[in-house]
Amino acid sequence: MKVLVTGVKGQLGYDVMNELAKRGYEGVGVDVDEMDITDRAAVERVIGEVHPDKVVHCAAWTAVDAAEDNQEVCHKVNAEGTENIARICGKLDIPMVYISTDYVFDGQGTRPWEPDDPVVKPLNVYGQAKYDGEVAVEKYAPKHYIVRIAWVFGLNGKNFIKTMLNLGKTHDTLTVVDDQIGTPTYTYDLARLLVDMLEKEEYGKYHATNEGGYISWCDFAKEIFRQAGMDVKVLPVSSAEYPAKAKRPTNSRLEKKKLEEHGFTRLPDWKDALGRYLKEIQ
At 177-224, the pLDDT tens digits run: 999 999 999 999 999 999 999 999 999 999 999 999 999 999 999 999
Class of domain 2-158+183-212+254-267: alpha beta
Would you say how long the chain is, in residues? Answer: 282
C-alpha pair distances (Å), 62 with each of 9, 76, 124, 196, 264: 13, 13, 12, 25, 27
| Residues 85, 19: Cα–Cα separation, whole Å | 22
Distance CA 117, CA 109 (A): 14
Predicted pLDDT at 156: 85
- Provide the pairing of β-strand 181-182 with 215-216: antiparallel
Where along the chain do its domains lie? 2-158+183-212+254-267
| Torsion, Cα of 14, 15, 16, 17 (10° steps) | 60
**Residue of 229, 225, 131, 234 whose CA lies nearest to 177:** 234
5 has pLDDT over 90 = yes
What radius of gyration, in Å, describes the C-alpha atoms of the chain?
A: 18
Alpha-carbon 272 to chain mean position: 19
Q: How many CA atoms lie within 13 A of 153 on its CB side?
A: 23
User: Are the CB atoms for 180 and 249 separated by under 8 Å?
Assistant: yes
In the structure, what pLDDT confidence band is assigned to residue 18 with cuts at 50, 70 and 90? very high
Q: What is the pLDDT of residue 89?
A: 98
Question: Residue 120: is its pLDDT beyond 80?
Answer: no
Active site residue 126: yes
Q: Are 196 and 256 in contact (CB under 8 A)?
A: no
Predicted confidence (pLDDT) at residue 160 exceeds the cutoff of 80: yes
Average pLDDT, the chain: 96
- Distance in angstroms (rounded) separating the CA atoms of residues 13 and 93: 22
For residue 47, pLDDT beyond 80: yes
Alpha helices by DSSP H, listed for 94-215, are: 125-140, 160-170, 187-198
Q: Which residue has the higher pLDDT, 217 or 282?
A: 217
CA dihedral 208, 141, 201, 4 (to 10 degrees): -80
> Secondary structure of the chain: what % helix, strand, coil (to 5)?
40, 20, 40
Least confident stretch, 4-8, 43-47, 58-62, 75-79:
58-62
| List 126, 140, 188, 277, catalytic entry | 126
Average pLDDT over residues 32-54: 96
Closest CA to 2 of 61, 60, 32, 47: 47
pLDDT bin (cut points 50, 70, 90) of residue 157 is confident
**Rounded Cα distance, 250 and 70, in Å:** 23
Q: Terminal CA-to-CA distance of the chain, rounded, Å? A: 34
| CB-CB contact of 26 with 4 (8 Å) | no
Which pLDDT does position 242 carry in this prediction? 82
Please list the residues that pair with 186 across neighbouring strands.
Answer: 153
Phi, psi of 29 (to 5 degrees): -95, 135
> What pLDDT is stored for residue 96 in this prediction?
98
pLDDT of residue 250: 94
